[in-house]
Copies of this chain bind each other. A is one copy, B any other.
Amino acid sequence: MPGSGKTLFGNILKERGYQVVSMGDVLRKRYEKDAKIGERLMDYAKRIREIYGDGVVARLSLEEVDPKAKRVAFEGVRSLAEVEEFARLGNPIVVSVHSPPSLRYSRLMARQRSDDSTKIEELKRRDYQEIAIGIGGVIAMADYVILNTGTIEDFKRQAEDILNKL
């Protein structure tokens, strides 16, 4: 979910030698090329899913995989259809990074990336859009969960625990 801290986990994976493919970046790259005038990112994402299927961003993300990479992580999975896309090529492990909405909203309001809003109502609407795409199903079926409510050390300890089990 936006502001949960998934990029932090991605950074830990990079340190461990993983190739980390940001599915958000993959989407944004196509959006910059292909979006209609005035079309918002979420609307573009919805449109290409309707045309190319719910797994389209996963398939586009697979194109970014370095053939020399030993271990690959995909950051920003949005639906079980995407997980199933990865499952066709192997046995994906799903890791969810959870933070409560109140904490995510504080972080997003402090961060202010171009697609981040500063109004609670808009942040909640964006959450509901992500949920409509199916992110909740991925979270519900996660193999591992990192609770990102404590310190950075606490986060790292949980990440290490997971990585040591893989």
Which residues in A have some Cβ–Cβ distance to B below 8 Å?
A: 1, 80, 98, 100-102, 127-128, 130-131, 134-145, 147
Contact = CB atoms under 8 A, between A and B. Distances in A.
A127 B139 CA distance: 12
Contacts of A101: 141, 143
Oligomeric state, in copies: 2
A66 to B, nearest CB: 29
Contact of A145 (B1, B80, B138, B145): B145
A81 to B, nearest CB: 11
* 9 A-B pairs with the lowest CB-CB distances in the bound complex, closest first: A136-B136, A131-B137, A136-B137, A136-B140, A100-B143, A139-B140, A139-B139, A98-B145, A101-B141
